[in-house]
Amino acid sequence: MSNVVGFGMVLVLVLGALAVVVAAIVLLVRSTRIGTEGAHRSVEERLAELDALVESGTISAREREKARERILDSL
């Protein structure tokens, strides 16, 4: 029985790590995408999205600052 519990805990940890990796990839794709979608969103909206991602724990404050610099440098 303890093997099943141990396996379940490992599975939860692996799935959690996978979710973090997928979220990071999504953020990377969104921040580097060149197209019309980014052109229609204001700088304020893009910066607010970064703040929301930090608040939700999807990205770190350091990642937000790097993305923020890229957004502001693109002006």
Q: What is the pLDDT of residues 14-59, one digit of tens each?
A: 888 888 888 888 877 776 655 445 557 889 999 999 999 889 988 8
The pLDDT score that the predictor gives to residue 61 is: 92
Amino acid at 13: L
In a domain, 35, yes or no: yes
Secondary structure (3-state) at 55: helix
- Asked if residue 2 has pLDDT above 90, the reply is no
Residue 37: give the domain boundaries: 21-73
The pLDDT score that the predictor gives to residue 36 is: 47
In a domain, 62, yes or no: yes
Map tokens 């990377």 to a residue.
Answer: 28
Map tokens 């607010």 to a residue.
Answer: 48
In a domain, 48, yes or no: yes
Number of domains in the chain: 1
